[in-house]
Structure 1
Amino acid sequence: MSGLKAVLLDVDGTLMDSNDEHARAWVDVCQEFGFSVDYERVRRMIGMGGDKVLPELTGVDEEDEKGKQMKERRGEIFRERYLPTLKPFPRAAELLRRFSDAGLTLVVATSASKTDMQGLLKQGGLESLMDEKTSSSDAEASKPDPDIVEAALKRAGCAPDEALMLGDTPYDIQAANRAGVRCVAVTCGGWSAEELGDAVAVYRDPADLLARFHESPFAAG
C-alpha cells in the first residue's frame, strides 16, 4: 500500500448530528405531496441520495417534474426547519485538525446536495477545515454507488490505496469499497457496529476516534 494522503469524509451522521432531521424532512415533504411514509423506513435510507430515496418512497422519479419539485421542497424544509438546530458531534472539528496535522488532505464526499452540504459545514463551523468538497452534483449516482468517492479521489489527487473514507452507514462502506477505498465507520449516525462490520475499523463517534487516533488506521496508514 502507498502512504496515506487523504481522508474522504461523509458529513451527515459522521461529523454532523443530522440524520434524524434529514429523515423528518423527507417525511414532511412526502406528506405535503400526498404520500404517507413511515419515519423509521426513511431513517434507514438516510445516507443515500435523493436519486434513490425519492423513487423508493414514492415511486416518483427525481427527473420528473413532480420529483424535481419534491427534491427542491425537501431541501427547503430541511434548511428552514431543521438545519438551524443542528450541531457537530463532540470534537469533530478537533478530529479534522488532527487529520490536517498529520498532513492529510481532507475532502468532503457526501450524497447531500451542494446547498445542504454548504449549510451543514457552515452550521457546524467545519467549512474552513476542509481542503476540497464534493456533493451530489459531482456524481451521476449517489451512495452506495461509488461515483462520489471516485470524484473525491480525483479532487484529492490520489489513488484509492492512498485514501481512507470516514462514514457512518453501510452505504458509505459499500461506496468506498466499490471505489477500492478502505472505510472507517462511526456508530453515532445510528447504525450498529455489527451493521458496519465491513469497515476496517469502527468507532463510537469523532471523539472516540480522536482519543484512539494513534492506534487507528489513519495513524497506521
Structure 2
Amino acid sequence: MLCLVASSTPLRAVLLDVDGTLIDSNDAQARSWLDAFEEAHLDVDPGAVRRLIGKGGDRLLREVADLDIDAEPGKTISQRHKAIFAERYLPGLSATRGARDLLVWLRSQGAQLVVATSAGEEEMRALLQTAGVDDLIDVFTSSDDADETKPAPDILGAALRKSKRSAAESVMIGDTPYDCEAAGRIGLPAIGLRCGGWSSEELPCESVFDHPADLLANYRASPLRRLSGVSA
C-alpha cells in the first residue's frame, strides 16, 4: 500500500530508522545472521535472510527457519547474531552518505528527531554512536518499546507517544519496505532511501531518494517541505 498522506500541517517530528538509513549496516546484519545460523549448523537461504533485514529478529527467525526467538535454538541464534554483529562487523561500519548533514539540517529547521528502530536499546545506541549522530537525537525508541516488531507499527506508535506528536505532524524516514508498511498502517507519511538495498518499486513511500545526502539536496520533493523552518 502506497504511503500517501496529503497534509498541510507543518512537520514537527521526524521519525528515523537506523540500520540502512543512518548507518550502512544491512549487509553486515545479514552476514551476522548467517554466521549465527552456521554456528548452529542450520542451512538457510542467504538471499531470504538479506531480504528480511529491517524486520524484527523474531520475524526473521520464524520466516527463514521456522524458529521461535524465545525458545532454543532460536534464542541462542538471536543472541549470537547480536554478539557477532557487535564484535565482527560494527567496528568497520560507517554512516550512510550525508546522514549527519541531514540530521543537523533537520534540527536547524526545528524538527524533533526521534529514533524508531527494530533494534534493541543497546544495539541502537551503538549504531548511532558508530554513525556519529547519537548527539543529534531527541527521543529514542527501540524494539524494547514495542509489543510487535516491524512491519507492525508498534514502534512508530511508541515514537509518536514519546515525542508527544501526531502522525499528521510527523514523517518517517526509512530504507526498507517494512518501514513504509509500518508507517502506512498508522497514516504516517514515509520517505524511502535506496541506500538500504531496495529499489524505488520496492519502497511504497510518498517519495524515494538514493541516500540522506540526496534527500537533503532535494527535500522540497518530499514531505520535508512542510517543516516549519522551511521558507515557501
Q: TM-score, normalised by structure 1?
A: 0.96
Partners of 2:155 and 2:78 in 1: CA distance: 19
Partners of 1:151 and 1:47 in 2: CA distance: 17
Of the three residues 203, 207, 212, the one matched with 2:218 is 212
- Could you give the per-residue CA deviations for residues 87-114 of structure 1, whole angstroms, max 9, x where no partner exists? 0012110100111111010000100111
Percent sequence identity is 47
Aligned to 1:4: 11
Q: Does 1:159 align with 2:166?
A: yes
Could you tell me which runs of 5 or more consecutive residues in structure 2 were left unpaired when the two chains were aligned: 1-6, 228-232
Aligned to 2:131: 124
Aligned to 1:199: 205
Partners of 1:8 and 1:220 in 2: CA distance: 15
- Could you give the per-residue CA deviations for residues 26-59 of structure 1, whole angstroms, max 9, x where no partner exists? 1000111121112211110000011100111222
Task: Give the conservation status (yes or no) of the 8 Å contact 2:189–2:223.
Answer: no
Partners of 1:67 and 1:41 in 2: CA distance: 17
Partners of 2:33 and 2:221 in 1: CA distance: 38
Aligned to 1:99: 106
CA shift, 1:65, in A, is 3.8
CA shift, 1:220, in A, is 2.8
Q: Does 1:80 align with 2:91?
A: no
Aligned to 2:182: 175
Task: Give the conservation status (yes or no) of the 8 Å contact 2:45–2:64.
Answer: no
Could you tell me which runs of 5 or more consecutive residues in structure 1 were left unpaired when the two chains were aligned: none
Task: Give the conservation status (yes or no) of the 8 Å contact 2:207–2:221.
Answer: no
Partners of 2:49 and 2:209 in 1: CA distance: 24
Q: Does 1:138 align with 2:168?
A: no
Of the three residues 55, 64, 81, the one matched with 2:71 is 64
CA shift, 1:163, in A, is 0.4
Q: Does 1:49 align with 2:51?
A: no
Task: Give the conservation status (yes or no) of the 8 Å contact 1:51–1:141.
Answer: no
Partners of 2:137 and 2:93 in 1: CA distance: 19
Aligned to 2:46: 39
Partners of 2:63 and 2:206 in 1: CA distance: 29
Q: Secondary structure at the match of 1:194?
A: helix
